[in-house]
Structure 1
Amino acid sequence: MPVEFLTDEQAAAYAAYRGAPSRTELERFFFLDDADRELIESKRRAHNRLGFAAQLTTARYIGVFLDDPADVPPEVVDYLAEQLGIGNPSVLKVYGERENTRLEHVRELRRVLEYREFAEAEAELREWVDARAWTTGEGPKALFDAAAGWLRERRVLLPGVTTLTRLVASVREAANQRLWDTLYGMLGVGQRAVLDSLLTVPPGERVSELDRLRRGPVRVSGPQMKRALERAEEIAALGMGAVDVSGIPPRRLAELSRYGVDGKASLLRRHSDARRLATLLATTVYLTSRAVDDALDLLEVLIATKLLAKAERESAKEKLKTLPRVERASAKLGCR
């Protein structure tokens, strides 16, 4: 079964090699600098040096230490062996035969490189994910990947996949709820009633007021221009443009407005009061400026296709009328 929002494949790829690293990744994560070599060279035998190097670079690349060194892709083993001057990379198999050696190396690397347990950084990570979720509105998978990257960069050993998915899901949901509650709190009782009225279907009509208002001009014509101006005036009269939403991250407002513009009114009605009215507020704030832009765009097209085109046609007719006179004048000049 998928782990929360991850597919089986995504969950299996977490904290594990997903095939061979690219050449760029090899050079970034698996290149052994002087400090790395100093640690590695203290190991006496070739298989211990290679195993120790594999543990060090794997932690740097995927954020965990290896239980089984055989999990390292051959391309990584060859790259490390070449740097260490080990002619036979297959000696890595010997490294896994002695469990105590592996555990000793892990303890040493955690101490020397100052890796932390997840529990020590969990509160800090929650704050970071919350801030990112609040400002970006990213989906759970994007937040999950970003959180894993944050942990690796700070040398925090990755927790189990279920632990991290639940943290991301809970923090993201809390950030969403805070967004809805904040926007809901900006509205007065009357404004909430006005917004909710957009979801009603007037008698004799087939669509809700929201459906009607979010439809822009569909043709280039004078009547459509009149309709576009009336639509802009009607949306502005809702008064939502006066609500100060400057404290809300623009990406979050855009995310809510997209849902309100594209979603069905019937679905919006099913949401909680806070989410429904927050979405409607973001949508009407967006439509307040969008309706004006739609009217201006239509006016520009009308001027270009109707008025200017007519003027050009009239000008062409006038030019044609003058052609006979021009021809007679040319003939006279030719005879002189």
Structure 2
Amino acid sequence: MPRRSILSAAERASLLALPDAEDEVIRHYSFSETDLSLIRQRRGDANRLGVAVQLCLLRVPGQGLLPDASVPSSLLHWIARQLRTDWARWPQYAEREETRREHLLELRAYLGMESFGLGHYRQAVHAATEQALQTDKGIVLATSILDSLRHRHIIIPALDVIERICSEAITRANRRIYVALSEPLLDVHRRRLDGLLKRRENGKTTWLAWLRQSPVKPNSRHMLEHIERLKAWQALELPAGIERLVHQRGAVRRGATLRRRC
């Protein structure tokens, strides 16, 4: 069975989107004299332009130049303007995979950045699991992971890796929530909860579906039904304070997710 997608296509595109507005491009991608000195050590306009582009992408969004990465023309124009070279030389560099890798290693050392490895993956999963106890929203978890990696000067891996971290964190958090809620239950509680899956006397819905029905227009008949639901919940006699064993925001979000899937 394929893994459920944690991020939508729009969310994936937004996570590593490059700045587009002119003021943002200037703010994020202006070179210092030290940067220019490093770039000018390369031979040929294409190599200088390529090193400059990789330097920019390592800083924002925090990735090196991927083989299929497309660089916005606005960024190429701004970089070429600073280097006083022709941005049209870019295709000559973009097709040289070995050269790109060599330059990427040099720039990582220059910026003091680490490659993403197994240890970083485990740390990210651990941190994301703690956050996933509060929310199972993939974009929130992924953004937090990326912010942490950037703060620690670690190269951002492919988005598939980030999504895998989010998925594993949510799975671990769900298991912890399940254990926290199920451990206090006695056999009698479990039997009562199992009974919610049986159909009611009218045979149309289960007890659980009936209890989850949204409030309707207030009137005397609906008020009596609401009182019946409260009595049914009270009859379960679940352990006191069980709702405080998990984060309330996380419980609410998972309840909403469960309702959408049912």
TM-score bucket of the superposed structures, by smaller chain = 0.7 to 0.9
* 2:248 maps to which of 241, 247, 250: 250
What's 1:154 paired with? 152
What's 1:29 paired with? 28
Alpha-carbon offset, residue 57 of structure 1: 0.4
| DSSP 3-state at the match of 2:254 | helix
Deviations 1:82-134 (A, max 9, x none): 233x1522234454587665444322211121121111522221212222222
The structure whose residues are more often helix, as a share, is 1
What's 2:132 paired with? 133
Alpha-carbon offset, residue 48 of structure 1: 3.7
Q: Aligned partners of 1:176 and 1:25: how far apart in 2? A: 39
TM-score (normalizing by structure 2): 0.76
Q: Which amino acid aligns with 2:197?
A: L
| DSSP 3-state at the match of 1:32 | coil
Q: Which amino acid aligns with 2:107?
A: L
- Is residue 2:261 matched to residue 1:232? no
Deviations 1:254-274 (A, max 9, x none): 02333565664xxxxxxxxxx
What's 1:208 paired with? 206
Percentage identity across aligned positions? 26
Deviations 1:206-243 (A, max 9, x none): 32222333346544434444443444344334334723
TM-score (normalizing by structure 1): 0.62
Q: Aligned partners of 2:218 and 2:69: how far apart in 1? A: 67
Q: Aligned partners of 1:234 and 1:12: how far apart in 2? A: 44
Alpha-carbon offset, residue 55 of structure 1: 0.9
Q: Which amino acid aligns with 2:212?
A: R
Alpha-carbon offset, residue 74 of structure 1: 1.7
What's 2:176 paired with? 178
Identify if the C-alpha distance between structure 1 residues 230 and 24 changes in structure 2 by more than 3 Å, giving closer, same or farther. Answer: farther
Query: Which residues in structure 2 correspond to 1:51-130 (within 5 Å)?
Result: 51-66=50-65, 71-84=70-83, 86-95=84-93, 102-119=100-117, 120-130=119-129
Alpha-carbon offset, residue 191 of structure 1: 1.7
Alignment RMSD: 3.9
Identify if the C-alpha distance between structure 1 residues 199 and 262 changes in structure 2 by more than 3 Å, giving closer, same or farther. Answer: farther
Identify if the C-alpha distance between structure 1 residues 208 and 196 changes in structure 2 by more than 3 Å, giving closer, same or farther. Answer: same
Show structure 2 runs of 5+ residues with no match. Answer: none
| DSSP 3-state at the match of 1:136 | coil
What's 1:40 paired with? 39
Q: Aligned partners of 2:236 and 2:211: how far apart in 1? A: 11
Show structure 1 runs of 5+ residues with no match. Answer: 265-336
**Contact residue 14 and residue 161 of structure 1 kept, 8 A:** no
Alpha-carbon offset, residue 189 of structure 1: 1.8
Alpha-carbon offset, residue 148 of structure 1: 4.2
Q: Aligned partners of 1:208 and 1:72: how far apart in 2? A: 55
**Contact residue 29 and residue 56 of structure 2 kept, 8 A:** yes
Of the two, which has the highest radius of gyration? 1
| DSSP 3-state at the match of 1:135 | coil
Query: Between Structure 1 and Structure 2, how many residues are aligned?
Result: 260
| DSSP 3-state at the match of 2:249 | helix
